[in-house]
Every structure is written in structure tokens, then in C-alpha cells.
Structure 1
Amino acid sequence: MASLFSNRLKVTAALSFATLSAAALVPTGAEAACKFLMPLGGNGSGPEPWIVKKKVERPKGLIGKALGRTNWNTDFVVAQPYRSYKLFFTADSTDGNPGSYPIEAFLKFSDGTNLKVVNESMKPPTGTGAQFGPFSAPQGKAVSQVNFRIGANKDPGATGFSYRISVQGCN
């Protein structure tokens, strides 16, 4: 009888330990709920294909100089609906005195409309940046893409600035 009780205690203890160990391996909160979105036409390769690495280039031609059209329309594909979206920007430049960089971001909807969710000018030190959001779509709208625009139209010091961007969809 004592042997049966001892075996049950061992089995119960082993199951409890296994349950606790498995629970420790399961991501919780934001870790389990967010997924990186893949860039559309981005670099999409390497160990972290969801991170797009770019450099602000000098605008070309008179129209480019007037509009500052550099690195426009970096889109991230939304393949399934999410409750919210987080956008990440990190400065990679090694320039000791970089210029200011206008950053805009949009939620693009399946009906062809969009919503500007970020409109900032940043001058971040190398290796730092910002998380924008979380942003949710208005009721009745389905997000099809998340768009980043990084440009240098008013600050020539921004030319040559390199950065990384990524987007997460979260439930």
C-alpha cells in the first residue's frame, strides 16, 4: 500500500513539474500575440527577413529635390486580420551629427483608402529609435498593408542616413 501511494506521489509530482515546465516555455502576453509582417518587395532574406534595411538617398532631378522622394512606400503585407499594429524604426547611421528625418506611416485598407498613423521628425542617435503604436484600424476597415515613408526633403544632413524598419501585427 505504501508503495502504491509512493508511486502515485511520484507520478503526481512528475506531472506537476512537466506542466510547470511546459507553461514556462509558452510565450505570454505580447510575445504570443504579435507576429512580424513580411515586407512587400523588401530585402526579405537573411536571418531576419521581416526587417528592412535602407539608406536615405539624395533626391534625383528637380522633381525629386522639390518633393524629397526618397525611400517612399516601404509596404508590409497584412496576410490576416490583427487587432493592432506596432511599427519599429531604428537608426543605423554612424554619422556623429545626422540630420532630422521625417517619418510617416500609414495603415492601408482593402478598399483603397489609408490612415496616417505617424507623422514625426526624428534625430535619433545610432542604434536607437522608436516604437510607434499600437494602432488599430477604424471599425469596418480591413488593413491590407502597413506603409512606412522615410525621407529627407528639408534636411540635406539626412542624406546617407541608414535605418531599419519592421512592423508587427498583434492580437
Structure 2
Amino acid sequence: MTRPTPSPHAPRRTRLLPLSLLACGLAGLSSLPARAQTCQFLSPVGGNGTTNIVTKTISPGNPLGRPNWNTDFYVTQPYSFFKFFFTADSSVSATYPIQGYLKFTDGSNLQVINENFAPQMGTGRQWDASAVPGKTVSQVNFKVGASSNMAATGFTYRISVQGCN
């Protein structure tokens, strides 16, 4: 039986990780070929400049304001691939969507994560996404939660993104 060839723009893998490993940045746990990797955390848009790890609580959308489901991270140089990190800081009995996007300087974007997830408190996940040849990434977007599943309201999590070569 032949295995289908994955899309070159699909995330490389998904891995459940203990909280202690996520806190360390996972420098040596990639399934990429053995080679020296240089990764740096990307700064969140609207961040305070003191941390590149964003902590959020899923809130409902309302007519007077926007929900806080989206978080963007600045990309200030070209990278070969990106690491998306997620850790659950609280627990809810709900499954909710997690999406990730690469945003390009030409205004287009590419969805690289699209999963429904129901993590236990203190667990996390990492996704890797390759850069797209011929395109320049300007931002990376993480979206957690959606108006179609309000049972996740109140769930607290941490996210961060690294750019790697």
C-alpha cells in the first residue's frame, strides 16, 4: 500500500507535550532532520515587550467589541519553518477549534493548523509549518476558539511561536 504524499505546506507533525517541555522552548525535540537549528521567539502584536508568550482566556464575542480569539506575531526576517506552541492553563469540558495561519506580504494567507482540541490542564501541543517558497511571511496568526462553540468560554491558555532556520 502506498502512502499519500503530504502537501509541502501542511504542518509536519502534531505532538502532545508535557508542560515542562513547552516551558523550555523544545529546542531539541523536532522531527526535522538532524542539523543545527536556530529558532527565535516571535513578538506578539500588541505585546508589552517583556514576554513572547501570550496568555489568554477565551471570551465570547459581543456587539460592542471583538472577541480575543486571534493573536498575531510579527515576522521580521525570513525563516525556513515556524513552531507553534500551545499549553492549556485551565480545564473546560469542551472541544474547541485551534487554527494557525501564515500571513504573507502580498495580503494572502495560508492555513497551517486546523484542529479541534480538548486538552487537559498542563498539557500542550506543538505544530510545525514550513515557509512557502516565493512568499514572504509578515505575520503568524494563532486562533483559539470560535463563536460556534461557546462552551470553551473561560478557558485559559498560553501560546507562542518561533521562527527557525
**TM-score above 0.5, yes or no:** yes
- What CA RMSD, in Å, does the superposition of the two structures yield over aligned residues? 2.3
Counterparts in 2 of 1:43 and 1:102: CA distance versus 1, 3 Å: farther
Aligned twin of 1:56 = 58
Q: Return the letter of the residue paired with 1:140.
A: G
The letter of the residue matching 1:85 is F
Residues in 2 aligned to 1:161 and 1:43: alpha-carbon distance in whole angstroms: 22
Relative to 1, partners in 2 of residues 1:127 and 1:74: Cα closer, same or farther, differing over 3 Å?
same
TM-score, normalised by the number of residues in structure 1: 0.70
1:43/1:52 contact within 8 Å kept? no
Partners of 1:44 and 1:55 in 2: CA distance: 20
Task: Name whichever structure is richer in strand by fraction.
Answer: 2
Residues 12-161 of structure 1 aligned to structure 2 (within 5 Å): 32-45=37-50, 49-61=51-63, 70-93=67-90, 95=91, 97-133=92-128, 135-161=129-155
Runs ≥4 in structure 1, deviation > 4 angstroms?
27-32
Partner residue in 2 for 1:6? none
Larger RCO (alpha carbons 8 Å, 6+ apart): 2
1:59 shift after superposition: 2.1
Higher-helix-fraction structure? 1
Give the percent of matched residue pairs that are identical in Structure 1 and Structure 2: 54
CA contact (8 A) 1:70 1:151 kept: no
**Which consecutive unaligned segments of at least 5 residues does structure 2 have?**
1-26, 29-33
User: Structure 2 vs 1, CA of residues 98 and 158 (structure 1 numbering), >3 Å: closer, same or farther?
Assistant: same
Distance 2:159 2:78 in 1: 21
Q: Which is greater in Rg?
A: 1
Q: Which runs of 5+ in 1 are unaligned?
A: 1-26
Number of positions where the alignment pairs a residue of Structure 1 with one of Structure 2? 134
CA offsets 1:75-115 (integer angstroms, 9 cap, x no match): 1111111100010111111x3x4311211110001111100
